[in-house]
Structure 1
Amino acid sequence: MNILIIGSGGREHALAWKIKQSDLCDDLFVAPGNAGTNSVATNLEIGVNDFEEIERAIIDQNIGMVVVGPEEPLVKGIRNYIDSKPNLAEVLVVGPSADGAQLEGSKDYSKEFMNRHGVPTAGSKTITSLNINDGKEYLETLEGPFVLKADGLAAGKGVIITEDLNEAKDTLEEMLGGKFGDASNKVVIEEYLHGIELSVFVLTDGKDYLILPEAKDYKRIGEGDTGPNTGGMGAVSPVPFADAEFMKRVEEKVVIPTVNGLNKEGIDYVGFIFIGLMNNNGEPSVVEYNVRMGDPETEVVLPRIKSDLTQHLIAAAKKELANETIEFSDETATTVVAVSGGYPGSYKKGNSMTGLGQEKKGIVFHAGTKVSGEEIVTNGGRVLASTGIGDSIQSALNLSYDNLSKISWDGMTMRKDIGQDLLNWKG
């Protein structure tokens, strides 16, 4: 089967790397891809939201299955577009329809969904410019820290957490005033969830599901979890505090009600559900849903899967997931993200990179890179994700950092403390 992956980040390089290992994959294409996907697949210069060009590529390349990486084309309805075309009737799609994608496309919608189906989550209130005073009064009822979330898509940066009540009120005004564009036309104010965060990933065909390896990611730019949120600076899998008992609670209290809720509401959901969780004394509470794999969590989750991911994806798209069994390794995978100087603020693109391809163990996944003439240059904020695999967190981290030590570009930076909080975890 010829397969097309849509996207250009580290997640898509990891998906391409894993899918290409399967005998079920013949020719593999990525649109638009990056310098890393170019080494395992054929890149197509097509934007992720250019549905007509994607349709043309599906026909021209005889694509049997489309795997949608990022959230934006899902929210904009790429699955609906493909499903509406009679000439694409036989094409399998991994990714939910636009109504299912609202689980990520609207924080307000996702909170209401959780409340309808009894999924544990923080209390919240949705605010617009019309009831901004209600929002300020609601903030006064909370103990803090104060959590404000842009309702729509904001590239992983639409969450503001502050300890100061007055700053929270000012931030609410800034967000409703356009801080995140249309994404913050509505703002969800949430109670702060205490505990330790992790990510759980589910592949579902709308009825049955597989739970993939869990991961913990590191969102803030600065060491010690300081500074502004980013798209993710590193990740670790497995997570020491996500033992079998906790994961059983996650399945019973979160995964099953979520999948059943989609089914009850008539949402034809085929694809991944990323569940951001807080573990508070062994009890799970949902922070957010995403409707695709996380990045950089994908770069530690997929290397731990021993069974054939491509087979699982095909089964999900055919609604035959009940027949599948997932297997994964007991080894630890860690990834450390190297970013452009200035990220998550403004940063320069086009910096020449040296030292790529020297790793003997581990995998360096490309995120914000592109081929320019004879060299590879930076093309984004998050540039590379260096994944190490070992029998412990420390051994995996040693590989992650060792491979990055051989690579350089002007302004390259990374966190040096990924996974340190888990090294001597005792609960």
Structure 2
Amino acid sequence: MNILLLGSGGREHALAWRIAQSPNCTQLFIAPGNPGMVSLGTCLPGLNPKDFPAIVEFIRKERIELLVVGPEEPLVLGLVDYVLEQEDLAELPIVGPDAAGARLEGSKDYSKAFMQRHGIPTAAYRSFRADEIEAARAFLRELNAPYVLKADGLAAGKGVIIAQTLEEAEQELGEMLSGRFGKASSCVVIEEYLHGIECSVFIATDGQDWRILPVAKDYKRIGEGETGLNTGGMGSVSPVLFADEAFMARVEEEVVRPTIAGLMVEGIDYRGFIFAGLMNVDGAPYVIEYNCRMGDPETQSVMLRIQSDFVELLLRIGNGALGDYELKIDPRTVTTVVLASEGYPRSYTTGQAITLPDLPEGAMIFHAGTKSEGGMLLTNGGRVLTATCYGDTLEEAMERSNHLAKSIRFQGKNFRRDIGRDLLELGQ
């Protein structure tokens, strides 16, 4: 079948890599794609995922039989609604929710209220706008440090602030409500800080049934030991040692089941992936946030662990027929290390020449922010590449990913060497 995948980052490169391996994939188109994907399908650098009429025109022209939406912004803006409103495309299988379902990510205030309505465990919270700043400060004084502040809308993974003191929290609150993240922070969610360890759970659902994909853990801070500024993600590991059978049984019963049931009750036909960022608090799962798509860089680790036909899974999601699909998981450990440009997540330079090594067996380099110019591969983003490797043990996977990351060369390269170390220490 002809498949159109929207997106251009490391997540989409990993999705494209897995899709291209399926015998069900005849032609893969990727819009806009990146240089790392050219061997997997046809990249369409001129096709913008937010240009809905152009997307529809391409679907018709190339007789696309499955649409897979990688990034969150087109989903939140209503791409799925737009496509399905076309009379001739009303039955097109699409992996990605409509705008109503995408609100789980598009509005932190909405998603927290959704959790409350459906009894899904999450941190206590309140939401505030600019004209409620005094009430917001009063609520901060009711909480204990540290303080969690979240921009309500999309902020490219950087709209969460964890302030260590009340004074810092009040300053951050003022800056957010004054437009630091534009419209995204016109409303700010303040919530209690949960003490525990995080993991990422990905739910593939056709609106009624679901499969839980391999669990991963990501690392958001720029510095080793989870220090420094928040980023879009500096690495990931799968599986996660503490997400054992007992914990995952609670996740399915207390988080996954009521989430899907809640969507159905509210009349939302959710077909796609749901990311549930969880905090393990003494063995109990609490939802930190939802995303309406796969995460990045967790997808890079998760895709290497899926052994069953991924296109069949996607098609069943889009057709509302997940049914008896058997998800087969590779038991090996996978670690992903992100290579970032110097200065990221603040201002950074691009256009640096990249030298890639020969790829060892059991390893992948996924492109996130690269471009091809004059026959050269150049940096073109904050997060540039990911080094993703299998290992029979966590220690072996970490060693191999770090070795691969070291062997990739570009000026100003920055990466964390401790991805997975906390889990290694936890297991000792």
Q: TM-score normalised to the size of structure 1? A: 0.98
The answer for the alignment partner of 1:372 in structure 2 is 373
Does structure 2 retain, via aligned residues, the 8 Å contact 1:70–1:292? yes
Matched, 1:313 2:314: yes
Q: Which amino acid aligns with 2:347?
A: S
The answer for the alignment partner of 2:15 in structure 1 is 15
The answer for the alignment partner of 2:290 in structure 1 is 289
Give the CA deviation at 1:47.
1.4
- Measure the CA separation in 1 of the matches of 2:379 and 2:317: 35
Does structure 2 retain, via aligned residues, the 8 Å contact 1:219–1:225? yes
- Measure the CA separation in 2 of the matches of 1:281 and 1:90: 45
Q: Which amino acid aligns with 1:6?
A: L
Number of residue-to-residue matches in the alignment: 427
Secondary structure of 1:36's match?
helix
Does structure 1 retain, via aligned residues, the 8 Å contact 2:176–2:185? yes
The answer for the alignment partner of 2:140 in structure 1 is 139
Q: Which amino acid aligns with 1:109?
A: Y
The answer for the alignment partner of 2:259 in structure 1 is 258
Q: Which amino acid aligns with 1:389?
A: Y
- Measure the CA separation in 1 of the matches of 2:155 and 2:144: 26
More off after superposition, 229-238 vs 319-328: 319-328
The answer for the alignment partner of 2:154 in structure 1 is 153
- Measure the CA separation in 2 of the matches of 1:225 and 1:103: 26
- Measure the CA separation in 1 of the matches of 2:342 and 2:273: 32
Secondary structure of 2:184's match?
helix
Distance 1:30 1:188, change over 3 A: same
The answer for the alignment partner of 1:5 in structure 2 is 5
Which residues of 2 match residues 40-59 of structure 1 at below 5 A?
Answer: 40-45=40-45, 46-59=47-60
Which residues of 2 match residues 275-286 of structure 1 at below 5 A?
Answer: 275-286=276-287
Structure 2: which 5+ runs fail to align?
none
- Measure the CA separation in 2 of the matches of 1:178 and 1:150: 10
Q: Which amino acid aligns with 1:197?
A: E
Secondary structure of 1:227's match?
strand
Which residues of 2 match residues 233-272 of structure 1 at below 5 A?
Answer: 233-272=234-273
Give the CA deviation at 1:357.
4.4
Which residues of 2 match residues 172-191 of structure 1 at below 5 A?
Answer: 172-191=173-192
What percent identity do the matched residue pairs reach? Answer: 55
The answer for the alignment partner of 2:324 in structure 1 is 323
- Measure the CA separation in 1 of the matches of 2:310 and 2:215: 16
Does structure 1 retain, via aligned residues, the 8 Å contact 2:84–2:91? no
Does structure 2 retain, via aligned residues, the 8 Å contact 1:151–1:186? yes
Q: Which amino acid aligns with 2:33?
A: G
The answer for the alignment partner of 1:38 in structure 2 is 38
Give the CA deviation at 1:186.
0.1
Secondary structure of 2:35's match?
coil
Give the CA deviation at 1:356.
4.5
The answer for the alignment partner of 1:419 in structure 2 is 420
Give the CA deviation at 1:402.
1.8
- Measure the CA separation in 1 of the matches of 2:112 and 2:405: 39
Q: TM-score normalised to the size of structure 2? A: 0.98
Give the CA deviation at 1:322.
1.6
The answer for the alignment partner of 1:80 in structure 2 is 81
Deviations 1:77-101 (A, max 9, x none): 0100110112323421000000100
- Measure the CA separation in 1 of the matches of 2:383 and 2:136: 34
- Measure the CA separation in 2 of the matches of 1:32 and 1:146: 38
Deviations 1:112-161 (A, max 9, x none): 00000000000001010111100000000001100000000000000000
Structure 1: which 5+ runs fail to align?
none
Give the CA deviation at 1:183.
0.3
- Measure the CA separation in 2 of the matches of 1:135 and 1:60: 52
Find runs of 4+ consecutive structure 1 residues off by over 3 angstroms.
Answer: 356-361
Q: Which amino acid aligns with 1:329?
A: D
More off after superposition, 372-381 vs 352-361: 352-361
Secondary structure of 1:199's match?
strand
Q: Which amino acid aligns with 1:12?
A: E
Secondary structure of 1:179's match?
coil
The answer for the alignment partner of 1:203 in structure 2 is 204
Does structure 2 retain, via aligned residues, the 8 Å contact 1:199–1:276? yes
Deviations 1:34-62 (A, max 9, x none): 11111211101211211111112212222
- Measure the CA separation in 2 of the matches of 1:267 and 1:356: 46
Give the CA deviation at 1:360.
3.9
More off after superposition, 364-373 vs 203-212: 364-373
